[in-house]
């Protein structure tokens, strides 16, 4: 189905459904381009429900794009903590600064200009252009791709093919609603594992339904990878805790964390934690364990045990050894640090134990 026939069979029922079922989301109240930009960065790889909470807090702290452009990166990362994929936060901050410098603080309208900004690819450019400025540009995310594939009962070669199909039916007068409606339908009705065809507004036009050939995507639970054990070294001395600095490129680039290693078969958490800390410190005494906590990232899942290690007092001063690899952070300010999820969960357990004196050696006055 193409052209006018597709438009008639798909557009009107989809828009009518969206008017009745659109979720009340904070960035949909006024469609401020800055709000749309923030929401689209946050929605990359994160569920809608979680994003709403972070979005409201973010806008409260950085109410305008210019306020964000002036922000300190450490503060922005702290606010982002828990959303994961921290490069998104850095890219959003860099994009805000570029928009202030190059576009006088106004988010660009056209996809080509948007794609010159850090962290913006074809999907985000299409979403911002259509949702913020009501331009007739397709926005192909996983939900839109799935709905269109089922509607047409054929796999599309790539997102560009989906976009060219959508370009033929996207209505000039309501592109903002159309793109959101398609993605919303995929999120709420035409879901990956269990499409609700009986209540779908497109069921009379859907070739997948009429042919009985609706490809189902295995749910995330089915695809979940096995959990691997790992151990983190929570090394302390003089009321401070050691945090390793990650490399400047790759996963969690430049962030601090408790040094950790995956646990080998038959290896104890204490042994793996000592391996993690060995490049920096060798003479340590183990005093306890916290966790484990689970941590999922980029298709991996680990079960992370924190091993409390104390630096032997006769060794060199911690600061001189740590300088090249990380930092010693006082327990009193540890909660201010922005950490990847696994280290953050261990940090929260640690501070709870310190406050309840479960580990008397680890008071701010200790060792
Ligand atoms: S009829 Fe079913 S398969 Fe077709 S678009 Fe609607 S929910 Fe998806």
Q: Is residue 54 part of a domain?
A: yes
- Are both 137 and 233 inside the same structural domain? no
Kindly report the protein residue whose alpha carbon is nearest to atom 2 of ligand 1.
Answer: 197
Q: How far apart are CA 321 and CA 181, in angstroms?
A: 56
197 lines ligand 1 (CB under 6 A): yes
What secondary structure letter does DSSP report for 337? S
For residue 196, the ligand 1 atom closest to its alpha carbon is: 7
**Inter-residue long-range contacts of 195-203, CB under 8 Å, 24+ positions, other chains counted:** 195/150, 201/13, 201/14, 201/16, 201/17, 202/9, 202/10, 202/13, 202/14, 202/147, 202/151
Q: Is residue 216 part of a domain?
A: no
Q: How far apart are CA 347 and CA 339, in angstroms?
A: 9
* Structural domain for 126, as ranges: 3-211
- Are both 327 and 188 inside the same structural domain? no
Q: Is residue 153 part of a domain?
A: yes
Q: Is residue 219 part of a domain?
A: no
What separation in Å is there between the alpha carbon of 111 and the centre of ligand 1?
A: 29
Which residue intervals of the chain are DSSP H helices?
3-6, 12-21, 33-43, 48-61, 65-69, 73-80, 87-103, 111-114, 122-133, 142-152, 159-167, 175-188, 207-211, 220-223, 269-277, 318-322, 341-355
- Are both 144 and 261 inside the same structural domain? no
What separation in Å is there between the alpha carbon of 219 and the centre of ligand 1?
A: 17
Tokens in use for 97? 């600064």
Q: Is residue 353 part of a domain?
A: yes
Residues of the chain with pLDDT under 70: 1-6, 215-225, 283-284, 298-299, 312-324, 357-367
* Whole-number pLDDT of residue 164: 94
* Whole-number pLDDT of residue 364: 46
Q: Is residue 87 part of a domain?
A: yes
Q: Is 228 left (phi over 0), alpha (psi -120 to 50) or beta?
A: beta
195 lines ligand 1 (CB under 6 A): yes
The overall pTM is greater than 0.85: no
Q: Which of 171, 188, 211 is the C-terminal boundary of a domain?
A: 211
Residue 87 burial (C-beta neighbours within 10 Å; 0-12, 13-18, 19+): middle
Q: Is residue 313 part of a domain?
A: yes
- Are both 170 and 113 inside the same structural domain? yes
Q: Is residue 217 part of a domain?
A: no
- Are both 193 and 262 inside the same structural domain? no
For residue 146, the ligand 1 atom closest to its alpha carbon is: 8
Alpha carbon of residue 336 to chain centroid: 20
- Are both 27 and 87 inside the same structural domain? yes
Task: Check 40, 174, 261, 337 and give the catalytic one.
Answer: 40
- Are both 117 and 78 inside the same structural domain? yes
Q: Which of 152, 179, 211 is the C-terminal boundary of a domain?
A: 211
What separation in Å is there between the alpha carbon of 203 and the centre of ligand 1?
A: 6
Indicate the SS3 state at residue 46.
Answer: coil
* Whole-number pLDDT of residue 223: 53
Is the separation of the CB atoms in 168 and 177 below 8 Å? no
- Are both 237 and 290 inside the same structural domain? yes
pLDDT digits (tens, 9 = 90+) for 209-264: 888 777 666 554 445 567 889 999 999 888 889 999 888 777 787 889 999 999 98
What separation in Å is there between the alpha carbon of 128 and the centre of ligand 1?
A: 26
Which one of 200, 201, 213 would you pick to mutate in the ligand 1 pocket, going by the greatest count of ligand atoms within 8 A of its CB? 200
- Are both 335 and 250 inside the same structural domain? yes
Q: How far apart are CA 285 and CA 348, in angstroms?
A: 22
Closest CA to 70 of 99, 89, 38, 93: 93
Kindly report the protein residue whose alpha carbon is nearest to atom 8 of ligand 1.
Answer: 190
- Are both 177 and 306 inside the same structural domain? no
Q: Which of 183, 211, 239 is the C-terminal boundary of a domain?
A: 211
- Are both 7 and 125 inside the same structural domain? yes
- Are both 228 and 203 inside the same structural domain? no
**CATH number of the domain where residue 102 is located:** 1.10.340.30
Catalytic residue status for 40? yes
**CATH number of the domain where residue 345 is located:** 3.90.79.10
Residues pairing with 239 in the sheet: none
Structural domains of the chain, count: 2
For residue 189, the ligand 1 atom closest to its alpha carbon is: 7
* Whole-number pLDDT of residue 367: 35
């Amino acid at each position: 189905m193409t052209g006018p026939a597709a438009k008639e069979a798909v557009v009107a029922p989809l828009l009518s459904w969206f008017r009745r079922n659109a979720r009340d989301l904070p960035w949909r109240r006024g469609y401020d381009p800055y709000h749309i930009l923030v929401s689209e960065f946050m929605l990359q790889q994160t569920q809608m429900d979680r994003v709403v909470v972070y979005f409201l807090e973010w806008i409260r702290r950085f109410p305008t794009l210019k306020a964000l452009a002036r922000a300190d990166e450490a503060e922005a990362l702290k606010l982002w903590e828990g959303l994961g994929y921290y490069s998104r936060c850095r890219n959003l901050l860099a994009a805000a600064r570029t928009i202030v410098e190059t576009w006088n603080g106004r988010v660009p309208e056209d996809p080509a200009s948007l794609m010159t900004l850090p962290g913006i690819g074809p999907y985000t450019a299409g979403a911002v252009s259509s949702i913020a400025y009501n331009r007739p540009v397709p926005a192909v995310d996983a939900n839109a791709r799935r709905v269109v594939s089922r509607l047409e009962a054929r796999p599309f070669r790539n997102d560009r093919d989906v976009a060219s199909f959508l370009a033929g039916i996207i209505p000039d007068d309501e592109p903002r609603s159309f793109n959101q409606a398609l993605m919303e339908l995929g999120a709420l009705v035409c879901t990956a594992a269990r499409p609700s065809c009986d209540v779908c507004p497109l069921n009379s036009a859907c070739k997948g339904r009429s042919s009985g050939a609706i490809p189902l995507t295995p749910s995330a639970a089915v695809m979940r990878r096995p959990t691997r054990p790992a151990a983190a070294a929570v090394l302390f001395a003089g009321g401070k805790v050691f945090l390793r600095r990650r490399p400047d490129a790759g996963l969690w680039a430049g962030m601090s964390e408790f040094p950790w290693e995956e646990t080998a078969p038959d290896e104890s958490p204490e042994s793996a934690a000592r391996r993690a800390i060995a490049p920096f410190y060798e003479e340590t005494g183990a005093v306890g364990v916290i966790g484990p906590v689970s941590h999922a990232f980029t298709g991996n899942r680990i079960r992370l045990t924190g091993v409390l290690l104390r630096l032997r007092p006769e060794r060199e001063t911690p600061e001189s050894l740590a300088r090249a690899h990380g930092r010693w952070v006082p327990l009193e300010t540890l909660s201010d640090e922005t950490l990847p999820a696994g280290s953050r969960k261990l940090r929260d357990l640690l501070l709870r134990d310190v406050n309840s004196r479960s580990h008397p050696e680890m008071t701010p006055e200790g060792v």
